[in-house]
Amino acid sequence: MGFLHVLVVALPLVSPSLAADVCGASGISLQLPYFTTIKSSLNYASACGTHCIGDSKCQSYAVGNGFCLHFTKATSKIVKTISFSPFKFYDRICAPVKVNSATSTTSPTATSGGDTSTITIDVGGVITTPNIQTTDSPPLPSSDVVFPTSDKSFTVTYTYEDDPLPTVVSLGTPPLEKGLPAPTTGLPDLPCVIDPTNTEDQFNILGSNFVPLVSQAGNKLQPLPAPTSEAQAKAMGAPDDYVLPAFFFQKPASAPAGIYDIVLSGKTLQYVAKTSQGGLVLTTSSTGTTPVRRNGQTIVTSIFGVDCKGRLTVTQNGSPYTWDISADGTTTTFTAGKAASNRTMVAYSLQKKAATKRKFRKRNMYTTGQAPRCPNSPPDLVAKVFPGARGLNPNGCGPANGIDFVPDFSFGSCCNGHDNCYDNCEQGTFESCNDDFHSCMRGSGCAYLDHWYSYVGHLACLKAADFYAWAVGTSSGRDAFHSATKERCGCYCNGSQGLCGRADGDYQCTSMFGTDVNNCGACGRTCSPKAKCAGGSCACMNDQCGDRCVDLRTHPSNCGSCGNKCSTGYCFEGQCYDPPPDKCVPMQGFTNGDFSQGGNAWSQCSLGCNFFGGGIDFVDQDAYFSLNGPGSADIITTAKMCPGQAYEVSFSIRRSSGNNNCDVKYKFGNRGWSQSYSFPGAGNYGTKNLGPYNAPVFQKGDSDATVNGLSLDVAFTAQVTCTGSNVAWVVLDDFDLVPAQ
């Protein structure tokens, strides 16, 4: 029901994804429709399209929320795609061929009240709305109506709705198409692989091939030798558990910033030193940055550094050196200059190895963690691929994944999976992607080396997997994650809500296709007063007839259906009503006198229920009394009576069980009790009809009658009394109070 201003935004934007001949695109329109209808015969695509074909003005059409809409321009020129819009748009060419040539369709004309008007837009400027044709609301379904009896009260308070059709006060703007970006400030600091200022942050030393260094007899370090037999390999234990020498950084007092000693832990500390010939030895103390002569060799210790990714650097007298395992794999060498391949020895953190084994708490996958995809406000945002984003772009193992040289292992598929995980807006988080990457490398990436004859290679592969995973967990890895998020992901509201707000970032999740009259079909689209929002469209609050908003239940000229005019000037519940002027209409005085609604409108024990055991129940459409021994009980209701009108009362009684002697009497207001009427005796279970009996006549001003409109409310009481000591179950039913004949 109701007039439609559908899904229009006051922007010159057109979605680049829409081209000619669009068939079934979800979105919102930049133009108001010139024709709308809610006829059920036209609210599906094929029927609406056929209707469009019959109108030369129609270049595109849309269906949704029970509407069929026609537009004067092609879809590509007026529609902005919104995936959660309930409206689907079609170009004229999408319509089915019309086969019934005998039927002709003429271009519709605007109804009165659809004149062109100018509307101010909240984004600046004005827009002129075109003529709009609308259709009447369908008739109300037929139903039985009980007319009011207090006609004077009805006529005094009678009102009905008759207002102009709704308009759009402000056309508004579309929701944020690409979603909100990921937060880049206020994020937790990411620690480096090694903290050289912390002597507790110990590490193993690995070559660029991730083969570890071990200490041999004397003062030497060398790459771990490979076992020569399966028995020897078994004796060495699992590669992941092989105990390697632990080192830590120590800052010499005179060393420049970033220059440290590397110290081998143990009962006696030993310092890693470079010889003047490019060799490696261990010595008992730091030399500082100045070479000294010891044991027949010129050595220096204070030359080492480490970057955030754990790569070891060597600087002597301001000149860089490359430290790595020799080509034959038996020793290490220091070579002047920095290797073009960036390959160098690395520090394998023992603290990170221990932390890897801990269980981490579950996180909200979009708004928490070290690199959340979405901001916390508005709440409950979800990350999705935004329109026009690039596709998945895995690049294998390389610098883009946070390390500057590629390990010589089978990590390629793991690296591609890691890249794709970073690109997975919906499921991939920084932590989970890195964890899965780590597991992949240590699993399938190293499994092919799990043999005794490749023991050292397997150990190196596991170390490389750890080191590589830690590297992508640093700020470099987070930068790569943010880059993927920026290129593919936007943060959106859950479900069909859209992001509405201002450029200063104050966005809210808003339901534009519900009932919000201030965001009806678009952000900030505001309906006029006395309008409602129905599925994203400004509509009449109740019904529509022609160019007016009405209520078919009460409108005297559109009573029950458009155009049905009541000669009396009164419409009640969709039917014309002719109340007698200033006169109470005598009708049935009891509400629920047959107890078909249980105990509705009745109460009990107003005079007191003074009997031993039992009670009163309104069951099986009866008033059921169970009394044990002598006593009485009553039920009471309100009788509606016209002043000065004579009435007759009747009712029925019966015995359900028991043999106690019982009778019943009644009274209206304070007028005194009727005579007592005995219930059938023991063993007689038939119904006994009583009445009709004359009821007292009441007038306005009587102390025991309350004025209610044109009628009077009078208390009616029925009391059951039993005199014997036995048990009785008796029933009252079918109370009737009608005007006297």
Q: In whole angstroms, give the CA distance from residue 516 to residue 524.
A: 10
Q: In whole angstroms, give the CA distance from residue 429 to residue 91.
A: 41
Neighbours of 504 (CB within 10 A): 6
Q: In whole angstroms, give the CA distance from residue 391 to residue 419.
A: 12
Write out the residue limits of the CATH 2.80.10.50 domain(s) in the chain.
203-353
Under a CB-based contact definition with an 8 Å cutoff, are residues 69 and 168 in contact? no
pLDDT at 403: 55
pLDDT at 119: 28
Picking from 83-97, 103-117, 130-144, 209-223, which range would have the lowest pLDDT averaged per residue?
103-117
Q: Which of 588, 549, 653, 682 is nearest to 2 (CA)?
A: 549
The whole model's pTM is what?
0.56
Write out the residue limits of the CATH 2.60.120 domain(s) in the chain.
603-739
The residue length of the chain stands at 741
Question: Does domain 603-739 match CATH 3.30.479?
Answer: no
Q: In whole angstroms, give the CA distance from residue 580 to residue 355.
A: 89
Question: Does domain 203-353 match CATH 2.80.10.50?
Answer: yes
315 versus 683: the higher-pLDDT residue is 315
Per-residue pLDDT tens over the stretch 368-407: 888 898 888 888 889 999 888 899 888 877 654 445 555 6
CA distances from 654 to 167, 482, 617, 634 (A): 65, 85, 15, 16
Please state the rounded mean pLDDT for residues 350-378: 74
User: Tokens 């006994």 label which residue?
Assistant: 688
User: Which amino acid type is present at position 390?
Assistant: R
Is pLDDT of 104 > 70?
no
Please state the rounded mean pLDDT for residues 60-82: 87
**Under the phi-then-psi rule, with left for phi > 0, alpha for psi from -120 to 50, and beta for the rest, what region is 489?**
beta
Q: Which residues pair with 615 in a beta bridge?
A: 626
Please state the rounded mean pLDDT for residues 566-585: 81
Per-residue pLDDT tens over the stretch 444-474: 889 888 999 989 989 989 988 888 888 888 8
CA distances from 388 to 95, 99, 156, 299, 489 (A): 28, 40, 63, 60, 10
Q: Categorize the per-residue pLDDT at 151 as very low, low, confident or very high, splitting at 50, 70 and 90.
A: low
